[in-house]
Structure 1
Amino acid sequence: MDKINLILILTIVTLFISLFLAFFLLTVQTKHKISNILFAVFLLVTAIDTSHPLFDLGSAGPSNLGMLRTTLALLQVPVFYLYVLSVCYADFKLKPKYLFHLLPFLIANAILLPRFYTVDTASKINFILNRQDMIELQFTHTLIHIQIVAYFVAVFVLLRKVKKLYLENYAGASMTSYNWLFQFTSVLTILYLIVILKNWFKFSDYPYISECIKIVILVFQPFIICWYLYKALNHPGLFRSIDSKLKLTSDLVLEEKNNTQTGVNEKEYNEELLKLQQYMVEKQPFLNPSLTIQDVASDIKVPVRNLSLLINHKLEQHFYDFVNAYRIEYAMDILKDATKSKVTVLEILYEVGFNSKSSFNTAFKKHTGNTPTSYRKNL
Structure 2
Amino acid sequence: MNYVYAACSGLIFIFILLILRRERKSNADFLLIGINILIGCFMLADVFIQWKLTSETIIFQNGIPLLLFPTFVWYLLQFTQNNKEIHRSWYLLFFPALIFLVLSVIDHYVLCNYDNQQLIADHFNTPTIWYQIIFKGSQLLFIGILIWLLSALNKFDESLKASYSAIETVNLRWLKHFTWIYLSTIIITFILFLSQNLGLLPLEINQVFGIVYGTLVCSVFYLNYQGIQHYTLSQVYPSKENKSTGSDAVAVEKQNVNNNSNNTLLLNEEEKALETEIISLIEKENLYLEPTINLEDLAARIGKSRHQVSKIINAKEDRSFSDLINGYRVKHLQKMLEDPKNSRFTILYLGLESGFNSKASLNRIFKNT
* Interval containing the TM-score (normalised by the shorter chain): 0.7 to 0.9
What corresponds to 1:137 in structure 2? 131
Please state if 1:147 is matched with 2:151.
no
Q: What is residue 272 of structure 2 aligned with on the other side?
A: 270
Find the aligned partners of 2:80 and 2:232 in 1 and give their Cα distance: 13
Matches of residues 226-305 of structure 1 in structure 2 within 5 Å?
Answer: 226-236=221-231, 240=236, 243=241, 245=244, 247-249=253-255, 266-305=268-307
> Which residue in 2 is equivalent to 1:317?
319
Q: What displacement does 1:18 show?
A: 2.6
Q: Please state how far the C-alpha of 1:172 moved relative to its aligned partner.
A: 2.0
1:152-210 superposed Cα distances (whole Å, 9 cap, x missing partner)? 12432432343233222111246634334334434444444444454345434334397
The 1:340–1:34 alpha-carbon spacing in structure 2 relative to 1, beyond 3 Å, is closer
How many Å separate the matches in 2 of 1:50 and 1:211? 12
Could you say which structure has the greater relative contact order, defined with CA pairs below 8 angstroms and 6 or more residues apart?
A: 2
Q: Residue 30 of structure 2 corresponds to which residue in structure 1?
A: 37
Residue 112 of structure 1 and its aligned partner are, at CA, apart by: 4.0
CA distance in 2, matches of 1:35, 1:211: 32
Q: CA–CA distance in 2 between the matches of 1:80 and 1:191?
A: 14
Superposed displacement of residue 271, structure 1: 0.9
The answer to whether structure 1 residue 355 and structure 2 residue 347 are counterparts is no
Structure 2 vs 1, CA of residues 251 and 173 (structure 1 numbering), >3 Å: closer, same or farther?
A: closer
Moved more, 211-220 or 16-25: 211-220
- Unmatched 5+ residue regions in structure 2? 245-251, 260-265
TM-score, normalized by length of structure 2? 0.78
Kindly tell me: are residues 207 and 317 of structure 1, through their superposed partners in 2, closer, same or farther at Cα, counting changes over 3 Å?
farther
- Cα offset, 1:28, TM superposition: 4.7
Hey, what does 1:11 align to over in structure 2? Answer: 5
Which residue pairs with 1:108 in the alignment? 100
Mapped to 2, the partners of 1:319 and 1:209 lie a distance apart of 56
CA contact (8 A) 2:291 2:356 kept: yes
Q: 2:198 matched to 1:206?
A: no
Q: Would you say the 8 A contact 1:127–1:134 is kept in 2?
A: no
SS at match of 1:317: coil
CA 1:96–1:47 in 2, change beyond 3 Å: closer, same or farther? same
State the Cα deviation string for residues 47-87 of structure 1 (Å, max 9, x = none).
2223233112332x231342243123111111111111122
- Assess if the C-alpha contact under 8 Å between 2:114 and 2:120 holds in 1: no
Aligned CA distance change for structure 1 residues 283 and 79 (closer, same or farther; 3 Å): same
Mapped to 2, the partners of 1:285 and 1:265 lie a distance apart of: 24
- Count of residue pairs brought into register by the alignment: 349
- CA change 1:189–1:347 in 2 (3 A) is farther
Identity over the aligned pairs, expressed in percent?
16
1:69 corresponds to 2:51? no
Change (3 A) 1:211 1:366: farther
Rounded to whole Å, the distance in 1 between the matches of 2:149 and 2:3 is 33
Structure 1 unmatched ranges of 5 or more: 1-6, 254-263, 368-379
Q: Give SS of 2:319's match.
A: coil
Instruction: Give the RMSD, CA atoms, in angstroms.
Output: 3.6
Moved more, 84-93 or 340-349: 340-349
Task: Give the TM-score normalised by the residue count of structure 1.
Answer: 0.76
Partner of 1:99: 91
Aligned equivalents of 2:96, 2:183: Cα separation in 1? 20
Partner in structure 2 of residue 88 of structure 1: 80
